[in-house]
């Protein structure tokens, strides 16, 4: 079964959701991320996608205390992203308790540096973030087009041992309009060894079941949880035990 990965996006230490990555379209859903994470855990969820939006904007991790509190007070397997720009930050994230670090911008803008991180900590500790629009990769909080096709990016890092890829369709994120089933199907067929994590637009359980059927390893669910479109109790029944 597909792995269910709830998202907690952080601004000023609170759980928020943006629409298409736009900081001006922000809605605060919970003031205490730890309580939300514990709620996920109590329902049998095993994974957490923790995004430091302050860090992404500042280009340096900001919400260290939230990562530490969730890591210390839950058994969730955390992947952390947002503002990771140095090997010192990677080291601290892993030592603080995250299982994996999700990397997007650095994989495009600083390839040599990211390759060094992979060699130092092992490919299994990283998730490649491929944020796309019309199959072109975007970086820097989805604001910069790179001219790089998603297939090219994935192949490059598969060759370096990366197995996990978190693919977000920018046009769908935070919109509850459905995820990019066709894109994910195409990627899984082309890269069968890939552990593909779908993200963006997930609106209901039926869609998650479809993502499972096409072979996605995991799915990030955010706004649908916070807007009560999907109940945690139902999500838990779909999770890998």
* The residue to which tokens 């139902």 are assigned: 234
> How many domains, in total, are found in the chain?
1
pLDDT at res. 174: 52
For residue 17, name the pLDDT band (cuts at 50, 70, 90).
confident
The pTM of the full predicted model, rounded to 2 decimals, is 0.92
Identify the domain containing residue 9 by its residue range. 3-238
pLDDT at res. 155: 97
pLDDT above 70 coverage of the chain, percent? 92
Higher-confidence residue of 119 and 169: namely: 119
pLDDT at res. 19: 67
pLDDT above 90 coverage of the chain, percent? 72
CA–CA distance from 198 to each of 75, 188, 212 (Å)? 23, 11, 10
Averaged pLDDT, 113-137: 96
Q: What are phi and psi of 50, to 5 degrees?
A: -105, 115
Contact 182, 213 (CB under 8 A): no
Q: What residues act catalytically?
A: 9, 131
Averaged pLDDT, 158-182: 83
Domain CATH code at residue 185 = 3.20.20.70
pLDDT at res. 203: 87
* Tens of pLDDT, residues 184-207: 999 999 999 999 999 988 889 999
CA–CA distance from 159 to each of 28, 44, 121, 185 (Å)? 40, 34, 16, 21
For residue 239, name the pLDDT band (cuts at 50, 70, 90).
low
- The DSSP-derived string for 166-211 is EEEETTTTTS-S---HHHHHHHHHH-TT-EEEEES---SHHHHHHH
């Amino acid at each position: 079964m597909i792995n269910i990965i709830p998202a907690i996006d952080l601004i000023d230490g609170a759980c928020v959701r943006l629409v298409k990555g736009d900081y001006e379209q922000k809605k605060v859903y919970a003031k205490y991320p730890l309580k939300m994470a514990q709620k996920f855990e109590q329902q049998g969820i095993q994974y957490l996608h923790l995004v430091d939006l302050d860090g992404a904007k500042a280009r340096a991790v900001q919400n260290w205390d939230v990562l530490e509190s969730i890591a210390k007070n839950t058994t969730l397997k955390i992947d952390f992203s947002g503002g990771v720009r140095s090997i010192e930050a990677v080291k601290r994230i892993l030592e603080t308790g995250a299982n994996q670090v999700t990397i997007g911008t650095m994989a495009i803008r600083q390839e040599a540096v990211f390759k060094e991180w992979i060699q130092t900590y092992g490919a299994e500790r990283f998730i490649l973030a491929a944020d796309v629009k019309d199959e072109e990769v975007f970086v820097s909080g989805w604001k910069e087009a790179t001219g790089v096709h998603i297939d090219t990016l994935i192949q490059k890092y598969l060759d370096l041992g990366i197995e996990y890829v978190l693919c977000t369709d920018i046009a769908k994120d935070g919109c509850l309009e459905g995820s990019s089933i066709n894109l994910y199907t195409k990627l899984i067929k082309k890269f069968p060894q890939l552990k593909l994590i779908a993200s963006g637009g997930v609106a209901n359980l039926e869609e998650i079941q479809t993502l499972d059927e096409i072979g996605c390893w995991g799915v990030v669910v955010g706004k649908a949880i916070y807007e009560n479109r999907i109940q945690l109790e139902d999500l838990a029944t779909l999770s890998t035990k």
